[in-house]
Amino acid sequence: MDNRIQLVAIIGAAGLLLFVLELVRRRRLLERYALLWLLSALVLLGLAAWRDGLERLANAVGIAYPPNALFFVAFAFVLLLLLHFSAAVSRLADQSKVLAQRVALLEERLNEAERRARGDAPAAEGSSAAAGPALDDEDVIEPVGARRASDR
């Protein structure tokens, strides 16, 4: 491998490593995701600096030009990260759907309790609020950290 290519690879991998560390320091990247990125950057930096290791990897995989093995490893890490993030996004989408459904049910119960408190006409037979238990003031969900007057 040419010295210039090796130098560019080392600078690029070191830059990636420093960038990930800076994102973690500024709390822009969670630690659990940072571990994957740090591992990726360290492996790339190690392969870029250790010329024989890169050549051995290239020979083992059957790649004729060793710097292409470095790109192969980088691409493999990118695919691994994409798979990890896809799983995380899928989990978050499911949690958001369940949360939206729960909020809608609570809103309906709260509206029904307000109607009953005002003495308005009862809800229709088929409404979801009529099927569930009525909420009183003790059942209302308050924001985290909020305290009732009786708790003070």
What does the pLDDT look like over 3-51, one tens digit per residue?
888 899 899 999 999 999 999 999 998 888 888 889 989 998 998 898 8
In a domain, 146, yes or no: no
In a domain, 29, yes or no: yes
> CB-based contacts of 48: which residues, under 8 Å, 6+ apart?
6, 9, 10, 12, 13, 54, 70
In a domain, 110, yes or no: yes
In a domain, 149, yes or no: no
The model scores a pTM over 0.75? no
Q: Which 3 state secondary structure label does DSSP give 146?
A: coil
Count of domains in the chain? Answer: 1
List the domain range (segments joined by +) for residue 10. 3-138
pLDDT tens for residues 89-117?
A: 999 999 999 999 999 999 999 999 999 99
